[in-house]
């Protein structure tokens, strides 16, 4: 194996895991997805074009595998598990509430349609441009823009309805 290729792959692993966690809503499934993406990338490393962005290439592989999984298995997750913790103090209560609020945000992201979720994770979480995101998902920039707008508005409505924004703001310092 080309050592340089492996180095690049390891360097981008944290971001791939974050992306996969957002797509799947599950830590275990996310790591399975990233592992499958690594294996595919290594098998097809000759297809990577030097001078192009390695991270975008890997995001595309992760996204492609995930879409295949969604289509073949008809994955629709139940609401994720929420960690319950015993509360021993005001500080602990605030921390638990803050964590629950962020869990609520993750669940709201998880309820978005797959294409909107993908756009949201790439642009809002990973900070890619609309053009880079369009190249990863294989669509026009205008489509990304509208998916993103729908995702952001739906997310905001969900969080406002669930009180997630208020609680998260109240407890921001507890994180």
Contacts with other proteins, residue ranges (CB under 8 A): 1, 3, 6-7, 9-11, 13-15, 17-18, 21-22, 31, 34-35, 38-39, 42, 102-103, 105-106, 109, 120-121, 123-125, 129-130, 145-146, 148-149, 152-153, 155-156, 159, 164-165, 168-169, 175
Q: Which is nearer to other proteins, 123 or 137 (CB)?
A: 123
Q: Which is nearer to other proteins, 55 or 67 (CB)?
A: 55
Q: Which is nearer to other proteins, 71 or 174 (CB)?
A: 174
Q: Which is nearer to other proteins, 87 or 157 (CB)?
A: 157
Do the Cβ atoms of 77 and 140 come closer than 8 Å?
A: no
∠ CA 70-71-73, rounded to 5° = 65
Min dist. Cβ of residue 70 to other proteins (A):
19
DSSP letter for each residue of 113-133 = -HHHHHHHIIIIIT---HHHH
CA–CA separation, 16 and 58 (whole Å) = 8
CA–CA separation, 11 and 52 (whole Å) = 16
CA–CA separation, 164 and 170 (whole Å) = 10
CA–CA separation, 33 and 20 (whole Å) = 7
Min dist. Cβ of residue 51 to other proteins (A):
18
Min dist. Cβ of residue 55 to other proteins (A):
11
Min dist. Cβ of residue 79 to other proteins (A):
15
Do the Cβ atoms of 30 and 23 come closer than 8 Å?
A: yes
Min dist. Cβ of residue 161 to other proteins (A):
12
Q: Which is nearer to other proteins, 75 or 107 (CB)?
A: 107
- Measured in whole angstroms, the distance separating CA 17 from the mean position of its chain's CA atoms is 8
């Amino acid at each position: 194996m080309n050592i340089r290729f492996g180095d690049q792959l390891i360097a981008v692993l944290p971001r791939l895991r974050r992306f996969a966690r957002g797509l799947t809503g599950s830590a275990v499934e996310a790591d399975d997805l990233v592992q499958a993406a690594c294996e595919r990338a290594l098998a097809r490393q000759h297809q990577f074009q030097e001078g192009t962005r390695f991270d975008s290439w890997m995001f595309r592989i992760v996204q492609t595998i995930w879409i295949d999984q969604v289509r073949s298995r008809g994955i629709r997750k139940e609401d994720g598990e929420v960690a319950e913790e015993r509360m021993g103090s005001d500080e602990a209560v605030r921390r638990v509430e803050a964590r629950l609020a962020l869990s609520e945000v993750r669940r709201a992201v998880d309820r978005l349609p797959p294409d909107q979720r993908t756009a949201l994770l790439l642009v809002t979480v990973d900070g890619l441009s609309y053009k880079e995101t369009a190249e990863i998902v294989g669509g026009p920039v205008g489509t990304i823009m509208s998916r993103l707008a729908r995702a952001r508005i739906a997310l905001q409505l969900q969080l406002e309805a669930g009180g997630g924004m208020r609680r998260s703001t109240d407890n921001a310092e507890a994180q």
